[in-house]
Structure 1
Amino acid sequence: MENYLFLKFIHLLGVVVFLGNIIVTGWWKFMADRTGNHRIIAFAQRQVTLTDFVFTAGGVVLVAIGGIGNAMLHHMDYLHINPSPRESPRFSHGEESGKLVLT
């Protein structure tokens, strides 16, 4: 349970960082454009580029670590995504081990 909660925390932290950066990026650009000052706009654009690289990429990595980690923790086949609802995998309780298994 501790591993699950830790990975869930990492996943949600990644979502917050990712979405927070997207919102703040728009704000930086909007406020810089309002000044009409080309130096301020250029500075804001450099900062937007830097934060996009650091926080957006960082958020994506954290989301992936949390998601894949939890999939592995629960023995799910995360590499084969099936979008068809008719052929979606079903979960059942394993007879031998008592664990939740993907069938």
Structure 2
Amino acid sequence: MAKRINVVGAVLTQGTKVLAAQRGEDMSLAGMWEFPGGKMEQGETPQEALRRELQEELLCTAEIGEKVTTTEHDYDFRDLHPHDVLRHHRGLRAHAHRAC
């Protein structure tokens, strides 16, 4: 039986634009598009995990809105991934940071 890994993703919109990132060539599923987000840590709610992931990945804070959907994928190369996709609510705020 495959190990379950719970992940979350955010649907971030501005008008008719939706934020998505293209996976790098050195990553699994190279070239595919994904929403910001990531793995949930032990004891986190989906909302807490998404808030943390947005801070880590995008250096921004957001008020998390309602759940959009939940999906499950069983990858040949990896474990089972249930995805909670949550919509951002008002208040997305980027924090200043230095370029790497």
Q: TM-score range by the shorter chain?
A: under 0.3
> Which structure features the higher share of strand residues?
2
Q: Find the structure with the greater CA-based Rg.
A: 1
Give TM-score scaled by structure 2 length. 0.19
Q: TM-score when scaled to structure 1?
A: 0.18
